[in-house]
Amino acid sequence: MLCLAALSYALLLAAAVWTLYIAIEPIARRHWPHSMIGWNRLLAGGFRDPLVGHDVLVGVAFGSAAAALTALHQLILARLGSTPPVSVSPSSLLGVRGAIASFLVVLPSCVIQALIWFILIFILRVILRRNWLAAVGFVLIYALLNGLSATAAPTVAALSGAAETAVLVFVMLRFGLVSLLSASFVYVMMILFPLTTDFSLWYSGAALFAVLVIAAMAAFAFHTSLAGRSLFDDVEPLDIQH
């Protein structure tokens, strides 16, 4: 029964992702054609396409920045004497199987969230007629929701939510869907897994798992973006003659 429930959930997620994609694909092609180039190459099997590697690498960088803003928010709350919200997934602390399970849950969730963001941005663009106005409106909505749902320091929560959302919205509008998916994945991984530099702690294995996944993702994307070229191909040797 457990396996059947898991299979049903997976099929439901797949159907939801496909439905959302079919809904937004014509919209994105019309208004943000550049945002779909890397995505279309990825769907065509271009995992080693340099553009896909570039977009993933951009997503890793901005996703890490958004996660750093969340960490800053928690630090500010601690300094103010408030208890930071707990965002770590309990299943990520249950050893290797729990970490892998959390990883597998994050993947489809980030895909669905990215597609929903595309739809919401498009709706705002239809209403406001400008991309930048839609982006500002989107950020303000998320900031308001964060502030209203915060149990402590709502102003700080609203500002933090605005900053994190602005980073991801910028990635979406400037670099496209692949970068947004990558940024969302890295952001969620860094939030749900308990990161630490003290590997003597009992949950350090989960932290190491998350770091290795993100590092492997960044390394593969960097290698792919080079398109087989050496990193130092365009660097001229130094002239050391006097």
- Can you tell me whether residue 230 is helix, strand or coil? coil
Which alpha helices (DSSP H) does the chain contain, by range?
2-31, 37-43, 50-79, 95-128, 131-149, 154-175, 177-192, 204-225
Rounded Cα gap, residues 215 and 209, in angstroms: 10
CA distances from 115 to 161, 162, 176, 194, 225 (A): 19, 19, 11, 27, 24
Q: Which residues contact 91 (CB under 8 A, 6 or more apart)?
A: 98, 101, 102, 105
Q: What pLDDT, in 10s, does the model give residues 27-76? A: 767 777 777 777 777 777 777 888 888 888 999 999 888 888 888 877 88
In a domain, 31, yes or no: no
In a domain, 41, yes or no: no
In a domain, 115, yes or no: yes
In a domain, 9, yes or no: no
In a domain, 8, yes or no: no
In a domain, 63, yes or no: yes
Q: Which residues of 131-164 are buried (b: 16+ CB within 10 A; e: fewer)?
A: eeebbbbbbeebbeebbeebeebeebbbbbbbbb
In a domain, 88, yes or no: no
Q: What pLDDT, in 10s, does the model give residues 181-227? A: 889 888 888 888 777 777 777 767 777 888 888 898 888 888 888 87
The domain of 116 spans 56-82+97-226
58: nearest Cα among 211, 164, 217, 230: 217
Burial label for 90, CB within 10 Å (0-12, 13-18, 19+), is exposed
Q: What pLDDT, in 10s, does the model give residues 163-185? A: 888 888 888 888 888 888 889 88
CA distances from 130 to 119, 127, 135, 148 (A): 15, 9, 9, 27
In a domain, 3, yes or no: no
Model confidence, pTM:
0.78
Domain count, the chain: 1
Question: What's the distance, Cα to Cα, between the start and end of the chain in Å?
Answer: 78
Q: Which residue in the block uniquely carries the two structure tokens 């190491």?
A: 208
